[in-house]
Amino acid sequence: MIQLPSRSFLTGTFVFLLSAALLLFLRLLPLKGGIMGWPGPDMLLALILAWVLRRPDQLSAPVIVLAVLVEDVLLMRPLGLWAVFVLMGSEAARVREHRWRDQPFMVEWLRVTILIGLMLLGSRLVQILFILPVPALGQVILQYLATVLVYPLVIFVARLLIGLRRVGHGEGT
């Protein structure tokens, strides 16, 4: 028989999609008035990795791809390229989540830092290989650093506002 999704899964998916929509809305707001400044962090990526490492049972791969594809379309990035790398990175983190669960936060932060760096490097290499427009390296490095530095804040806010916490050993996955 077909098993219906649990209430926890549906609630988590709905809250994630709502959060992703809010982050995308804030990213699209014209707050700088045409002045190009430092690139901000990729908050959606930080939220996806935080969610996958805390509640892997609530966030499925199609939901991640949907959120990042919508972001690709609205931010006029190469369609699906970043979504593929976010999917690969989030699934790599999901597979290792049970081993990372008991590690201190600094170890998790270091691993997420490396994972985000590999995702950005892979995306950049594919863009170069297929002769797509490549963003300036300095801007990409600044966005990478901003994303890595904001990751603990994303976890704190997600725990405070959404109640996103780690899965215990007896809770499943």
- Hey, where are the domains in the chain? 7-26+39-162
pLDDT at residue 12, as a whole number = 87
Amino acid at the residue 172: G
Nearest 5°: CA angle at 121, between 76 and 67? 40
Instruction: Kindly tell me the burial class for residue 173, based on how many C-beta atoms sit within 10 Å of its own C-beta (0-12, 13-18, 19 or more).
Output: exposed
pLDDT in tens, 114-130: 999 999 999 999 999 99
Report the pLDDT averaged over residues 134-158. 95
pLDDT in tens, 83-107: 999 999 999 999 988 888 888 999 9
pLDDT at residue 62, as a whole number = 96
Higher-confidence residue of 38 and 79: namely 79
Where does the pLDDT of residue 157 fall: very low under 50, low under 70, confident under 90, or very high at 90 and above? very high
